[in-house]
Amino acid sequence: MLDLLEYIVKKAEKQGASQAETYFYGTELLRTGIEKKQVKISEKKYDAGIGIRVAVKKTDGFSIGFSYLTNLTKKAADDAVKQALKVASFKKPDSDFKSFQEHKPTKTVKKIYDKQIVKIEPEKIVDLATDLIKAVETDKRITTISGALGLGIVKVAIANSLGVSGEFKKTGYGAYGYVVAQEKGSVGVGGDSYTACFFNEEKTFNAFKKARDLAIRQLNPKTIKTEKMDVLLQPDALASLLTSTLIPEVRADNIQKRQSPFVEKMGQMVASENLTVIDDGLTPQAAGSKPFDDEGCPTQTTTILNKGQLQNFLYNSYTARKDNVPSTGNAIRIVGGFTYKPKYAVEPLIGPTNFKLCAGEKSAQAKFEDIVSEVKNGVIAKEVIGAHTANAASGEFSVVLDTAFKVEKGEVAYPVRQAMLGGNILDALKNVVLFADDFKQVGGEETVISSTILIKNVRVSG
C-alpha cells in the first residue's frame, strides 16, 4: 500500500502541490446480531479507501485541498489528485497553515493486533452467541436477550512529502448484551459491553451476565425525592457525559475557536485535586491505541488535568503550529454529523485516543464497596441518557440517570424509576471526591477509560 501512497504524493507534487499527504484506511468487519433470545443475522463488510490532502502555496499562504478514492488504482488516484488541487484552487489561503506533520520516530504499542481474531470463522461467533444466550437465560422473568458480537481488522498506512511513511494493523473486538426482564407489569432493562483489541470469551460472558443481573435488579423501581445527594457515576455514564462535554472542551480547535469554558484557563485549577485526566494513545489492549495518529504523528501520553490543574489540550499538527507547540498526536479522521463518512473520506480534526480518568492522589482511590458504604444518601447510575444534548461550548448538561439504584445508609437500597441530573461539567468535576477500582474502557477509536467516581452533594430531580 505504501507504494501507491508514495506514488500519489509524488504525483501531487508534480502537479503543483507544495506538500501532499495520503492516508489509507481499510477495514474488514464481521458482526453477529442476537435478537429475542436467538441468533438473527451475521454481516460481513469490506471497505477501503485513500484520502489525499494537498497544500498549494499562494502569495499569502497555503490553500488545502482534499479528495478521496475507493477504486485503488493509479488512474483513479490521478483523478483524485486533480480534484484535490481543484478544491485547493477554490480556497483562500490559510495563513495559519505552515506544514503537514513532520516525520518523528514512533513508539511500539503493545497488544493492538490479535492474530486469533484474523482466524475466527463466523461459525465460532455464532456458537459463542448461542452459548451466551444459554448462559443468560436462567430466569423465567427474562423476556428478551439481544446484543451483538463484532470483530474487526483495520489496516492503516500514511505517507507525506515530509518523510512520514508508516503503516500498522490493528484488531478490534466488541460485545454488547441487552436484557429485558418482566414481572407483574414491571419492566427491568440491563445492558453491558466489553471492548478491547483482543477477543475474550470470558469477558464476553461477564458482560452478558451483568446485563442479565442488572435487568432483574431493575425490576419494581421506585421514584425518588428531588434533593441534593451523592452521585456515583459509573464508567459507561461517564463516557457518555465526557464525550459530549469535557472531551470537546479540551480540544485545541475548540479553544482556538473560543468554543470552550477552558479558554484562557491554562494552568488554573479547573477540577477537584482528586482528579487527573490523561490522554494515552499507547495503552496496551485499548481500542483507542495506535502507534501514530491520522496525520502520522506519533501518539503519546498527554496529561490534561493534573490533580485538577489544566496542563494541556489535545492537538493535531494544524492547531499545534498555530499555538507554536508540538502536536500531541490527536489528529483523528472522524466527523460528527449525520451521514456516516469512512475515515479515508474525512480531513483530520482532533479527538482523544484513550481518555483516562484517574485519582489525583492515592487517598482518592478506594474499593467500590467501601465507597458505597460511606454514602448516606445517594444514587448510582450505570448509564446516562441524553448526554449528546449537552452544550459543549458552555459545559451545561441535563441527563437522565439510567440503570440507577438508590443508596441509603451505605447500602444499595432499590432501583430508581426516573431521575435527572443537571448542571455544568466544571462544577461536577470540582465535586469529584473518590475513584473506585472498577476500571472499564468504553468506546472505539475514541475511548474513555474510567472507574466509578463519587461526586458529592449534587441536586438530583426525581
The answer to whether residues 381 and 407 touch, using CB atoms and an 8 Å cutoff, is no
Q: Of 180, 237, 275, 278, which lies in the binding site for another protein, with binding defined by CB under 8 A?
A: 180
Q: Does 379 bind another protein (CB under 8 A)?
A: no
Residue whose CB is less far from another protein, 92 or 409: 92
Q: Does 147 bind another protein (CB under 8 A)?
A: no
Where do the H-state alpha helices sit in 91-178?
115-119, 122-136
Q: What character string, x for contact with another protein (CB under 8 A) and - otherwise, covers 399-428?
A: xx-x---------------x-xxxxx----
Q: Does 388 bind another protein (CB under 8 A)?
A: yes
Q: Does 146 bind another protein (CB under 8 A)?
A: yes
Footprint (CB under 8 A) of another protein, residues 431-450: none
Separation of alpha carbons 203 and 118, rounded Å: 19
Q: What character string, x for contact with another protein (CB under 8 A) and - otherwise, covers 319-338?
A: ----------------x-xx
Separation of alpha carbons 169 and 27, rounded Å: 10
Where do the H-state alpha helices sit in 257-384?
317-323, 368-374
Q: Does 15 bind another protein (CB under 8 A)?
A: no
Q: Does 461 bind another protein (CB under 8 A)?
A: yes
Footprint (CB under 8 A) of another protein, residues 222-251: 226
E strand residue ranges, 59-94: 61-69
Give the shortest CB-96-to-another protein separation in angstroms.
8
Half-sphere exposure of 283 (CA within 13 A, CB side): 24
Which pairing describes strands 354-359 and 447-450: parallel, antiparallel, or unpaired?
A: parallel
Q: Of 138, 373, 389, 457, which lies in the binding site for another protein, with binding defined by CB under 8 A?
A: 389
Q: Does 391 bind another protein (CB under 8 A)?
A: yes
Picking from 37, 48, 56, the residue whose alpha carbon sits closest to that of residue 76 is 48
Report how far Cα 56 is from the mean position of its chain's Cα atoms.
33
The answer to whether residues 372 and 412 touch, using CB atoms and an 8 Å cutoff, is yes
Q: Of 8, 9, 39, 54, which lies in the binding site for another protein, with binding defined by CB under 8 A?
A: 39
Q: Does 45 bind another protein (CB under 8 A)?
A: yes
Q: Does 301 bind another protein (CB under 8 A)?
A: no
- Residue 249, all three cell numbers: 472542551
Separation of alpha carbons 208 and 147, rounded Å: 9
Q: Does 268 bind another protein (CB under 8 A)?
A: no
Q: Of 346, 375, 379, 442, which lies in the binding site for another protein, with binding defined by CB under 8 A?
A: 346
| Residues counted in the chain | 462
Q: Of 112, 207, 282, 345, which lies in the binding site for another protein, with binding defined by CB under 8 A?
A: 345
Residue whose CB is less far from another protein, 110 or 134: 134
Q: Of 120, 126, 135, 216, which lies in the binding site for another protein, with binding defined by CB under 8 A?
A: 126
Residue whose CB is less far from another protein, 15 or 424: 424
E strand residue ranges, 307-445: 309-310, 331-332, 349-350, 354-359, 377-385, 396-408, 411-415, 419-424, 432-435, 440-443
Residue whose CB is less far from another protein, 150 or 308: 150
Q: Of 61, 386, 410, 444, which lies in the binding site for another protein, with binding defined by CB under 8 A?
A: 386
Footprint (CB under 8 A) of another protein, residues 57-86: 64-68, 70-71, 83, 86
Report the interhelical angle of 2-14 vs 74-90 (nearest 10°).
40
